[in-house]
Structure formats: C-alpha cells, structure tokens
Amino acid sequence: MTEQPARRLLLVHAHPDDESINNGATMAKYAAEGARVTLVTCTLGEHGEVIPPQLRHLTGAALGAHRLAELTAAMRELGVEDFRLLGGKGRYEDSGMMGIADNDDPASLWQADVDDAARALVEVILEVRPQVLVTYDPDGGYGHPDHIQTHRIAMRAAELAAGAGWEIPKIYWNRVPRTVAEQAFARLQVDLPALPFGKAATVADVPGVVEDERITTVIDGTAHGAAKAAAMRAHATQIDVAEPYFALSNELAQPLFTTEYYELAHGEPAARPESDLFAGLAPQEAS
C-alpha cells in the first residue's frame, strides 16, 4: 500500500469552476507544499451559461464534456492530480438555478437521495482519509440548489465516514469577510473604467460573505495568485478573467481574491485567525 502524504485535503464542489473561484489559491498552495489535495465535483455543470459566442452551441452532455476538459486543464494549473466526479462521470446532473424546471429532473443533483450520494463520497473519504474537508455553508454560499445539495452531501458523508472508521478532524465552509469584500469593491469602482467589463457586481453577488467575526481561518495564497487566475481562465465557458478581476456570464466585474477565507464548522481552531487549515492537528490525526 502506498504511504499517504502527511497532510490530506478534500474539497467538495458542485460544478467545474467553483473550486478555482473559491479555493484555487488554497489548492495550489497545499499542492505545492506536498499535501494530497483531492477534489470531488458533484456535477459537470451541464446547464451553465456559456460566455464565448463561439462555444454557445454547447449544451447538455456536450457542455458537460467540455467543462470536464476545462476542469482537467484547471487542475493542471493548480498542480492537483487527484480530482473526481461524485459517483462517476454523469452520475448526477446540473440542476440549474433555483426555481427552474431542471430542478425537477430525476437525474439532477437536487433530486438525488442525500444518503445515496453521501455513500459515494464516503468511499473517497475512507480511501483518502483527509484531515480537512472544505465545502459550502448550508445555503450553498448563494442559494444555488446544487451548492445546497453539495453541502448536505458533504456533511452527511463526513458523519457516515466517522461511523465507518475515519472522522475528519476539521471541516471548513467557504467564506469572505464583509469588510474585505467591501474594500475590494471600492477598489473595483476606481479601476472599472480600464476593465473590459461595463459594470461591477456588488458585495451581495459574492457567495459566502459574512461578518468578519465569523472568519476563523485566513489562507494567504498571494504567491499562488497567478496559478489561481490561470485555473479560472481554463474555465473559459464560465469565467472571463482580467486580473485582479473577473466576470461570470452576467458580465459584472468582481474581485479575484488570492487570500481565501474560511469558517471552521467542525473541529477546534488552533488560533484566531488560523493561517493553516491543518493547524492544531494532533500527530495521530495527521497519520
């Protein structure tokens, strides 16, 4: 049996591109430091809105296949070798935005049985034995059904895995402190005339913004900012990057954060704020 790296990080996301936007600098940092970084993506984002006109013919399964290729390229930029699709390719489909007909598709992630989906993730957890799990908050950051369901699946899988022999010591939710977001958007307003985007988004458009006191962990990924931007560019159907900003299909500019923020949802913080997701782990938890 191959010996596991001492530090093992598992991230669970809804669609290709979510990982690069939320955690790209964190993933690149830990991969560069020799940690095992494992990404599980729950859907292929088959109903995402495509930005480049020349690719807008891609829909459904064809778009999903293209986005898997984008994900592969993004992981190469971040130095991450272990990335998987929950339950295998095509097991769960993109549910679309909340309140549309795609939510009712029996193949959609939104309609998945949480325990069934969680058991597929438990298989990964028992193989990788991560000390740290990163996923979304109960609202999925901004209310997207696939993000909400991903949260439910990840948290349930952690519970089931604990009963099957591996309790994940620390579980984090993606966050952005409100003052950081407000300051970044103030800079964006000054820079906007020179950007290729006509308008700016608002703080309310950023998933996971919370009051500063809820932030437990700050990961300085400045040294890996270029890798994060390159990974985001790899998701060309979904993201238009003009560092240090980017836009989604709504064409509204928003900041590209190279320092990434987290709220510890399970486990004990080593300090406040932590500067390392693995901080405070006992030696037996790092084996």
Binding region for Zn(2+): 15, 18, 147
Alpha helix (H) residue ranges in 109-245: 114-128, 145-163, 178-191, 225-234
Partner residues linked to 175 by β-bridges: 261
The one-character DSSP state at 2 is P
Sequence-ordered list of residues with C-beta below 8 angstroms from that of 220, at least 6 positions apart, any chain: 259, 275
Rounded Cα–Cα distance for residues 128 and 204 (Å):
36
Q: Is 205 helix (H, G, I), strand (E, B) or coil?
A: helix
Of 143, 144, 146, 173, which Cα lies nearest the Cα of 158?
173
Rounded Cα–Cα distance for residues 82 and 116 (Å):
22
Partner residues linked to 172 by β-bridges: 134, 264
Binding residues: 15, 18, 147
Q: Is 210 helix (H, G, I), strand (E, B) or coil?
A: strand
Q: Is 274 helix (H, G, I), strand (E, B) or coil?
A: strand
